[in-house]
Structure 1
Amino acid sequence: MKLNFTKPIIILGAFFFLSPITKSVAQDFVNIFRASEEDVTQYMDSYIEPAMFSFANGMAGGWYNTAKTHKPLGFDLTFTVNVANIPSSERLFLFNPNDYGNLRLAGDLTSSQTADLPTLVGGDTNERLELYGQYTAPDGSTYEYTSGETFQAPDGIDVSDLPLAGVPAPTLQLGIGLIKNTDLKIRYGRAKDMELDDNTNNKYGVDIFGIALMHDFKQWIPGIKHLPLDMALLVGYSRFKTTIDFDENEPGVFSAEGTASLTANNTTIQALVSKKLSILTLYGGIGYNIVSSGIKVDGEIVNYDLTDVITGEPYTVEDPVDFTYDGGSTFRGTAGMRLKLAFITLHADYTFQKYNMLSAGLGFTFR
């Protein structure tokens, strides 16, 4: 059995879009990535899943701050920050060595002790881990071997004093009025070949795309079209992707080359209502979010400093990480208010869903 003690430091760049993760937290993950591929996937799944769902759900915020559509060629430019709260019950996860092949708590020679370890927003921990493995000799004897060192389990961000603990999802979007009381909303952003670290040649890029249609359905229903309320149906899709191109080489120790990518997708369907009271607009909506996200690393990592105990050959690992989080569909209900001063708007709202969300922003609108 191989014990994969690799050093794919660059893979950690896949988490950088989730800032506020710090360099010290990222450094803690180096030791986790020295375990087997299965252990890496299991630990990452537990550590990052709540933050991934927080960000993906947050992408559904900011699409609207009124149910009133623009006149043809009217438009708005709006910036919103959404934070979907991660419940306290999901800020820790149970580490059970039975779920891992090469990871256990330090000093646990029987591999039977469990512990609550932090997720990305779980704060600090004093627990230490160690790597170990087993192999069977030609005579049938089984031997255990370790890396000869222990290391601290990765910390999380301490959010215990914050009213909301989540990953911020900022959005900048343009809304344009079309015909028949219909608005087209677009989110777009791209940055390529940005320096990941001054000490390496690694580059990263970010792509953001979103599109939505908001249509005034009240106009088609005779019984309600004269009510002093604005009503609309919104259908939107958002996609975020960040990629890291890495090329690392430490002679005689390890080499790594490839691309890491992290994606988050959100589809939302909402029925909206709003009421304007002078410069104040009260608005709300009900609907569903459908979210998914994933992490993938394509490339080759070769480790030389710790070789296979049987063959003496260095480890070569190809495409070490590829998994997705399918969040399914979740109900959402939103209530908020907007203040309009001339063509400037300020808005804030709160959404009740699996991860409750607070949104706030400002914009410019011209009818």
Structure 2
Amino acid sequence: MKNILFLLALASSLQIMAQSNANDLFAAGVNDAEKFTNAYVTPMSEGLLYSMSNGWYNSGKAKPLGGFEISIIGNMASFKNKEDKKGFELNTADYENLQFQDGSIVKTVATALGDIEGVGVYVDGPLAGNIDRQDFELPTGLSSENINFVPSAFVQVSLGLIKGTEIKARFLPKINTDEAKLGFYGVGLQHEFTSLLPAEKIWPIAISGVIGYTHLNGSYDFTDQGVIAGEDQKLDAKMNTWVFQAIVSTKLPIINFYGGLGYVTGKSEIDVLGTYSGGLLAGSVTDPFSINNKISGVTGNVGAKLKLGFFRLHADYTLAEFNTLSMGINFGFR
């Protein structure tokens, strides 16, 4: 794990997922590989769902007709103090073939967010190729790289439409290398309720509602990275989130404060694809399993935005299952 070279801060999440040693775990059979990979990857997918769902707004005041803002936004969903997300208890009694090399029955091992190294396991034979025993180490996670957050980053464009309504779009230019592919997009809508009130210009605050949808898809090829032979071995991830927020903000000329309360829901599907042969597998296995996960919960945030002509800066902090810091550089008109 120490020799992982991250493509970008965002792509690191998908890379760590691929290092789940799903390839090695197939030496213990499909059922053991699925059980381990599910426990290992789930906290990472949860953190990424929370991370990518943030950053939809920096004010409760919707832009007027023709007003626009272009933002570069980065989110960091923290898991620094979430020990329950960094490790899980592996009981070999729950596995068909996987055993600890030191003879332990139960041991805490790393998730994709953790930092527990040097945990040796083995599978007894006879295995394919007349091998009596296969030894390998379980993977560690992001914390071993001194990373305590799950990142996301994107460009977001906001445009004012009819009175009190603003449309938003977010995207990340596609990342495409020999091993990794990543795409990201989303659409949102904000409506300012105070714009409908009499004498709305003299109100000291603006109140809005926001709905936002975000989609991420990516894959990481890990063919020939483990002990199990095969072709086109990769993780293929699809993630979707919806957020529903009520927002209130001040209406001052230079610096403003805002806050929101709402609800987030999301789901991820991570498919383990390719062919696998060897170990305790009976013949060749193709596209063996998928890992599905859902999140939902109440969120709340507070933040501030500094406006200097067409240039703006904002930052906010969201309280949720994964607390998230969001920061943005904005360029806008009106």
- TM-score (norm: length of structure 2): 0.85
Alignment of 1:43-192 (within 5 A): 43-86=36-79, 87-108=82-103, 113-132=105-124, 147-158=132-143, 165-191=148-174
Unmatched 5+ residue regions in structure 2? 1-5
What is the one-letter code of the residue matched to 1:121? L
The CA deviation at 1:218 is: 2.1
For residues 297-330 of structure 1, the C-alpha deviation after alignment (integer angstroms, 9 at most, x for no partner) is 3443344xx577xxxxx72101112121112x21
> Do the aligned residues in 2 keep the contact of 1:21 with 1:120 (CA within 8 Å)?
no
- Which stretch shifts more, 63-72 or 25-34? 25-34
- Aligned partner of 2:3 in structure 1 is none
Q: Give unpaired runs (5+ residues) of structure 1.
A: 1-12, 136-144, 197-203, 309-313
Q: Is the 8 A contact 1:301 1:316 kept in 2?
A: yes
Confirm or deny: 8 A CA contact 1:54 1:83 kept in the other structure. no
Letter in 1 for 2:285: V
Q: Which residue of 2 aligns with 1:337?
A: 304
2:99 alignment partner AA: R
Partner deviation per Cα, 1:184-230 (whole Å, 9 max, x = no partner): 1001345375322xxxxxxx432212000000112345698853101
Which residue is equivalent to 1:285? 260
The whole-number CA distance in structure 1 between the counterparts of 2:234 and 2:206 is 47
> 8 Å contact 1:84–1:168 — kept in the other structure?
yes
Contact 2:164 2:191 (C-alpha < 8 Å) held by counterparts: yes
2:192 to 210, 216, 232: 216
Contact kept, 8 Å, 1:62 with 1:171, in 2: the verdict is: no
Provide the aligned length of Structure 1 versus Structure 2. 321
Whole-angstrom CA distance in 2 between matches of 1:332 and 1:265: 17
Mapped to 2, the partners of 1:246 and 1:150 lie a distance apart of 19
CA contact (8 A) 2:243 2:265 kept: yes
Amino acid at match of 2:243: T
| TM-score normalised to structure 1 length | 0.77
Q: Is the 8 A contact 1:102 1:133 kept in 2?
A: no
Confirm whether residue 242 of structure 1 aligns to residue 218 of structure 2.
Answer: yes
Q: What is the CA deviation profile of residues 108-147 of structure 1, one whole-angstrom value per residue up to 9, with x for unaligned ones?
A: 3xxx710111112211323211123699xxxxxxxxx985
Opposite residue 254 of structure 1, the aligned amino acid is A
Give the direction of change, closer, same or farther, for the CA distance of 1:261–1:29 in structure 2 (3 Å limit): closer
Alignment counterpart, residue 326 of structure 1, candidates 294, 317, 321: 294
What secondary structure sits across from 2:251 in the alignment?
Answer: strand
Instruction: Tell me, yes or no, if the aligned pair for 2:276 and 2:285 is still in contact at 8 Å.
Output: yes
Which residue of structure 2 aligns with residue 9 of structure 1?
Answer: none
SS state at 1:257 partner: coil
**Aligned equivalents of 2:201, 2:252: Cα separation in 1:** 19
Amino acid at match of 2:216: F
Q: Which of residues 300, 313, 327 is equivalent to 1:360? A: 327
Contact 1:216 1:231 in 2 (8 A): yes
- Identical amino acids, percent of aligned pairs: 28
SS of residue paired to 1:50: helix
